[in-house]
Structure 1
Amino acid sequence: MSIPNEQPKYSYTDYLAWDEGERIEIINGDVFNMSPVPSRKHQQVLRELSTEMTLYLRDKECEVFFAPFDVRLLADDKSDDETFNIVQPDLTVVCDKGKLDEKGCKGAPDMIVEILYR
């Protein structure tokens, strides 16, 4: 009988210990390399979207953040050791200030945007 070869589940604690130069996300405890550095056109689109969204939301209770900005999904009431979903969307909108801390967003943001232009 063979013993299953289980892969370790990585958490937000592991993520914080890794080299800051690495562009990774963790989904269900599995590590995924992010795309290489975005193109100039990608950054132009991100700049325009973030500017327009920030201006639109200026008088509302929402804030706009752009990558790198950690979003810890399914993390409500969980420690960093129990958080296994960490992503960095291109653009993140958070209206519930209670989800924001010094590390980013803990819980589902109100909106995320991924720019697919390469």
Structure 2
Amino acid sequence: MAAKQTDTVNEPDMEYTNHSYADYLTWQMEEVVELIKGKVFKKAAAAPKRIHQKVSGELSFRLTGFLKGKKCQVYAAPFDVRFPKKSKEDDKIHDVVQPDICVICDPEKLDERGCLGAPDLIVEILSPSNSKTELKHKFELYEASGVREYWIIHAETQDLLIYSLTKGKYVPSRLFTSGDVVESKVINGFKLDLEEFFGDIE
């Protein structure tokens, strides 16, 4: 969630570990922040690198085109995804993230504030500033919350790893690189030729 600073800025206590979505809605900050297990994580203050934005834009475009006329919908950051545990009340939700790209196939999970519940597919595009959060905290959150497929793209090295949820646990693919054609198990029929895809990015 990003907002311009005002004279009376309400910012979170970064050491506090029980923040809720209700708290999150009150914050006015220049940085984009996410909430995982009640703890605040700041994303990079600077804008993402050009290659990150190109990968995000091109993949969003392809997913949107493929899913046109189908029930699944594609959203790119900034877009709040809330993961409720026992209650859907704002003050009981302690996990709010902004994936680079997500695909939601259940329209009941969508509201005016974003997605309430696990998307079917999440894509995170890594950079040096966010790798630790994506690989550890978000991995655990997405697995526990039931995100069926989790793609991690390394934009600068042009490779891709897919985690597929099997019996409640993520099973990793091999590392896909140039020359591989990746196929989603969640979005039936969607394929990505990595050599062609990254060739269009440069």
Q: TM-score, normalised by structure 1?
A: 0.88
User: Which runs of at least 4 in structure 1 moved beyond 4 Å after TM superposition?
Assistant: none
Is the radius of gyration larger for structure 1 or structure 2? Answer: 2
Range moving further from structure 2, 15-24 or 96-105: 15-24
2:19 alignment partner in structure 1:
10
2:109 alignment partner in structure 1:
99
- Indicate which of 49, 58, 61 corresponds to 2:59: 49
Is the CA contact (8 Å cut-off) linking 1:26 and 1:85 kept in structure 2?
A: yes
| TM superposition shift of 1:54 | 0.2
- Indicate which of 114, 117, 121 corresponds to 1:111: 121
The answer to whether structure 1 residue 22 and structure 2 residue 16 are counterparts is no
Cα deviations by residue, 1:60-117 (Å, 9 ceiling, x for unpaired) = 1011000000000135742000000000000011110000000000000111100113
* Cα distance in 2 for residues equivalent to 1:8 and 1:77: 18
Name the SS of the counterpart of 1:112 in structure 2: strand
- Indicate which of 72, 92, 95 corresponds to 1:82: 92
Name the SS of the counterpart of 2:22 in structure 1: helix
| TM superposition shift of 1:59 | 2.2
Is the CA contact (8 Å cut-off) linking 2:34 and 2:96 kept in structure 1?
A: yes
Structure 1: 5+ residue stretches without partners? 1-5
* Cα distance in 1 for residues equivalent to 2:69 and 2:86: 27
| TM superposition shift of 1:35 | 2.5
Aligned-residue CA RMSD (Å): 1.7
| TM superposition shift of 1:21 | 2.6
Matching residue's letter, 2:69: D
Structure 2: 5+ residue stretches without partners? 1-14, 127-154, 157-202
| TM superposition shift of 1:34 | 1.1
After superposition, the Cα gap between the structure-2 partners of 1:76 and 1:100, relative to the gap in structure 1 and judged at 3 Å, is farther
Q: Percent identity among equivalent residues?
A: 50
Matching residue's letter, 1:26: L
Q: TM-score, normalised by structure 2?
A: 0.53
| TM superposition shift of 1:19 | 1.1
- Indicate which of 42, 60, 71 corresponds to 1:33: 42
* Cα distance in 1 for residues equivalent to 2:91 and 2:20: 5
Kindly indicate whether structure 1 or structure 2 has the higher relative contact order, using CA contacts under 8 Å at least 6 residues apart: 1
* Cα distance in 2 for residues equivalent to 1:7 and 1:115: 28
Range moving further from structure 2, 68-77 or 54-63: 68-77
